[in-house]
Each structure stands twice: as C-alpha cells, then as structure tokens.
C-alpha cells in the first residue's frame, strides 16, 4: 500500500514529461492577426489535442531563425513568414520540407499557397486607407495618394522598398499589369525612386503593422498604406477608417517549420489543423484576410466574403506581389532604398 503514492507520483511525472514534450512554440506577427489566430487555431488545437502552444510575436526577423538553425538550437516550431522569406529560407536550407500527405490535398489550396517549404496561412493586401471622419472625398487612385494639394497632410508608408516602389509606379501612370515589367528595368527603378522623392517630404514611416491605424486616428497622417486586416480590426473597435482597394498589392503569409525543430510531428499537426476549411473560415470571420483553403469560402456569408482582399470587387484592380521579382532584385533595391531614405 505504501508504494501506491510513489506509483501515482511517477505516473503524474511521466504524464507531465509527456505533456512538456508536446508543447510547441508558434511564432506570428501579433496584433489583430495574432488575436484571430489564437481564437481560430491555437485554442481549438490545444482543446482537441491536449498539446500546449506558446505564442511568440516577432517582426519577421529571419536572422533569428538562421541563428537558431546554425546553432542547432531550434526553439521555434512553427513560424509565420512573408512570401519572399519562404523562398529564400527554403533555398538556404533553413526550413523543413513539408509533408503534404499530412496536411491536406494540394488541389484544395490556392496555387500560390503551395510551397515545398511552406503553406499559405492567409491572403492579405497592402492597401490605401484614410480616416472617413476627416476626409470626405475618398481617394480613388495612387495618384491621389501622391497629390498633397488635393488631399493635404502627411502620408504613412512602410519603411522599405517592397510595395512602395510598385505604388510609386502606379501613381506615375503605369498600368497594374505592367508594374513589374517596368520595375525590372533600370529606367523603371529610376522612375519609381524619382516618384518616391516627390512625396518624401510628406512621408511618415511606419514599421509595425499597428502604427498606420494609430496615425490615422490621431490625425498624424491623412492617408497611409496599411495591411487591410489592421483597418478591419480598427473598424470592429468603432473607428471610422476606410479602405481604397484600387491598386492594392495582395500577398500570402506562410507557415514554415525551422529545420531541426524538436517537435516536428506536433508542429505538422498544428499546421494541418490551421489549414483545414473550418478553422480557416473561423479565422476569416475574425479578421478580413482571405483563406488559402478554397473550401473555406463556402462556409462564409456574403458580408464576410465582401470584406476579403480576394473578393471580386476588391481584387478587380489588385496586383499580386511578385515573389520572383523580389527574390531576384530585392536585395539591391532594399539597399538602394535604405540609402535613399537616410538622405
């Protein structure tokens, strides 16, 4: 009889040890997206599997992942990355190749969502936004964004070359379908930077996704570039912010598994659950980013579908972000941008 408490204690210890082994760390960009992921993915996964998820927020620093992989001390199991980083990280051997037989049928996903080292989490768009309490005549084009006489005030822009150079060319009259063809030439890049220089005195840079809605509410800027989901979140909080979808640039974020992670089976199960139609539909109800699993669309009502970057009305004049272009020319353009911004 005296042995019984020891047996119970040993069983409990074994149970805790097993539980500890099934704790995974999932890294995302936080904010409204992180909150929606918690409700749609993290909490249901913990409840269904008994595994624990530690959520970590980051700003997309790939150097951290590289350092972990090279030191063979990987503490992040699943990471949300932007599209250029999934290709670059895959080429550099930083991410595991995904076993799609454990995730789902590739044919059920948007073609752009399927990558050997990652799977699309959602489709999002960088758009133009404004405070409808302060601006009564809505901007229609990127030429309006550049026109500080027509709409006086500062302009919020993400500090980096990506998206801004494309918007600059659209503002200069380049048709959406020709943007990357023009930007790929020496003259096209020159044209984009010249257009950026025109606006430079009026630019207020942002780096974190939470900043643009804050700038608009405070009246620091008249117009800003912003991730569409951030405006959706602000609207749900009662802020009268609005989006102009013309010439928005849509892109995907991806789930990846850093190479050498210790909890690969559980990590893959989490990715599979977060890629299923039901969970993706729940996520889209919480924040207006488009599902990558096309079967999720049938589970959404017309109002929710109408708020997504992937809706026919919102995507009519949209530009798909070119991963290939930025993989080829991104490094040189970002260096040039950093030097230009510092002048």
Q: What is the pLDDT along the chain (343 residues), one digit of tens a residue?
A: 444 444 433 443 333 334 444 899 999 999 889 999 999 999 999 999 999 999 999 989 899 999 999 999 999 999 999 998 998 899 999 999 999 999 999 999 999 999 999 999 999 999 999 999 999 899 999 999 999 999 999 999 999 999 999 999 999 999 999 999 999 999 999 999 999 999 999 999 999 899 999 999 999 999 999 999 999 999 999 999 999 999 999 999 999 999 999 999 999 999 999 999 999 999 999 999 999 999 999 999 999 998 999 888 898 999 999 988 998 899 899 999 999 999 9
Q: Work out whether strand 118-131 and strand 241-256 pair parallel, antiparallel, or are unpaired.
A: antiparallel
Q: Work out whether strand 223-227 and strand 118-131 pair parallel, antiparallel, or are unpaired.
A: antiparallel
Between CA 158 and CA 112 the distance in angstroms is 24
Between CA 171 and CA 162 the distance in angstroms is 15
Tokens linked to 321: 């972000």
Between CA 103 and CA 85 the distance in angstroms is 21
What is the set of domains in the chain, with CATH numbers?
3-123+252-311 (3.40.190.10), 126-250+315-342 (3.40.190.10)
Between CA 110 and CA 136 the distance in angstroms is 37
Can you give the three-state secondary structure of 66-119, one letter per residue? HHHHHCCCCCCCEEEEEHHHHHHHHHCCCECCCCHHHCCCHHHECHHHEECCEE
């Amino acid at each position: 009889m005296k042995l019984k408490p020891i047996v119970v204690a040993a069983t409990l210890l074994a149970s805790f040890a097993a539980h500890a082994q099934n704790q995974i760390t999932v890294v995302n960009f936080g904010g409204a997206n992180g909150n929606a992921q918690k409700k749609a993915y993290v909490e249901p996964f913990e409840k269904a599997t008994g595994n624990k998820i530690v959520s970590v927020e980051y700003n997309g620093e790939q150097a951290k992942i590289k350092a972990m992989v090279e030191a063979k001390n990987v503490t992040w199991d699943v990471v949300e990355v932007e599209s250029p980083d999934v290709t670059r990280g895959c080429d550099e051997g930083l991410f595991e190749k995904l076993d799609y037989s454990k995730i789902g049928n590739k044919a059920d996903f948007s073609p752009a969502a399927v990558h050997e080292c990652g799977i699309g989490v959602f489709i999002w768009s960088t758009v133009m936004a404004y405070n409808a309490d302060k601006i009564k005549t809505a901007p229609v084009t990127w030429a309006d964004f550049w026109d500080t006489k027509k709409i006086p005030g500062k302009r919020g822009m993400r500090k980096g070359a990506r998206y801004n150079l494309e918007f600059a060319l659209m503002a200069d009259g380049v048709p959406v379908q020709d943007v990357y063809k023009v930007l790929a030439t020496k003259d096209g890049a020159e044209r984009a930077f010249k257009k950026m220089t025109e606006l430079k005195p009026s630019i207020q840079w942002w780096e974190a996704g939470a900043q643009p809605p804050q700038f608009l509410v405070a009246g620091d800027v008249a117009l800003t570039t912003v991730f569409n989901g951030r405006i959706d979140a602000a609207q749900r909080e009662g802020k009268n912010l609005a989006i102009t979808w013309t010439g928005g640039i849509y892109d995907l974020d991806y789930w990846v598994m850093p190479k050498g992670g210790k909890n690969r089976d559980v990590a893959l199960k989490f990715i599979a659950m977060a890629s299923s139609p039901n969970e993706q539909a729940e996520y889209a109800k919480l924040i207006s980013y488009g599902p990558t699993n096309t079967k999720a669309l049938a589970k959404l009502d017309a109002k929710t579908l109408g708020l997504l970057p992937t809706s026919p009305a919102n995507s009519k004049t949209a530009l798909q972000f070119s991963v290939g272009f930025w993989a080829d020319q991104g490094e040189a353009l970002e260096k040039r941008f950093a030097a230009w911004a510092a002048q």
